A and B are shown apart, each in its own frame.
Chain A
Amino acid sequence: EVQLVESGGGLIQVGGSLRLSCAVSGFTVSGHFMGWVRQGPGKGLEWVSVISGGGKTYYADSVKGRFTISRDNSKNTVYLQMNSLRAEDTALYYCARVSDSWGQGTLVTVSS
């Protein structure tokens, strides 16, 4: 059974850093495009970052230079390092296998 479980969200001050984790079971992350999608309060969906099976990374303009996606094949886990956080980064962050499987999300709240 495919499962994606996010963790690492929380309340953080503007300018702070957080690292989100996505633990995967049921398939290997190195064989798929994996990404993070966020959903602000009452808002729509926004792709934040994607990592290909080959390790190529992609970022939305809104997070380029601040967020870094990576993975640990030995742990079958995908990460999102988020630095220089802004109030507008407040959202529910979903991990997804592009694009057919999704986790339940982890909430990030950036407070000023």
Chain B
Amino acid sequence: DVVMTQSPLSLPVTLGQPASISCRSSRSLVHSDGNTYLNWFQQRPGQSPRRLLYRVSNRDSGVPDRFSGSGSGTDFTLKISTVEAEDVGVYYCMQGIDFWTFGQGTRVEI
């Protein structure tokens, strides 16, 4: 099984400041097709998860450009360039190379 490990698990942030979440996988997420199957999700309080980024760095429709993703192989990062109040919630990374598994989640709070 591919294990996804996020850090930190809790991230106090300041409005207008940047924030960063790390995600590490127990094996490479590079598929034989050349793609890297690592997604990022946001779950606001009381809401369903929403995908923000797919294949490491591709933003989904409607996702603000203050969200960006980077990384390769087994190490990945989600960055928020300037945190806004609506960014409060829990963020999950997810691998899609062997079944599908999420990280434990990182709670972002002001």
Contacts and interface: CB of A to CB of B under 8 A. Distances in A.
Q: Tell me if chain B binds chain A.
A: yes
Given A50-B99, A58-B99, 10 more contacts: A35-B100, A37-B49, A44-B90, A44-B103, A44-B104, A45-B41, A47-B100, A47-B101, A60-B99, A99-B100
Interface of B: 1, 39, 41, 43, 48-51, 54, 60, 90, 92, 94, 96, 99-105
B12 to A, nearest CB: 19
Contact of A102 (B50, B54, B96, B101): B50
A99 B48 contact: no
16 contacts: A44-B92, A44-B104, A44-B105, A45-B92, A45-B94, A45-B105, A47-B99, A47-B100, A50-B100, A61-B1, A94-B48, A98-B100, A99-B51, A99-B100, A100-B51, A104-B48
Contacts, number: 45
A73 to B, nearest CB: 23
Interface of A: 35, 37, 44-47, 50, 58, 60-61, 94, 98-100, 102-105
A45 B99 contact: no
Given A94-B49, A105-B48, A99 B60 contact: no
Task: Please list the 6 inter-chain residue pairs (A to B) with the smallest Cβ-Cβ separation, ordered nearest first.
Answer: A47-B100, A102-B48, A45-B102, A44-B105, A100-B51, A44-B104
Nearest to B49: A102
A105 B102 CA distance: 18
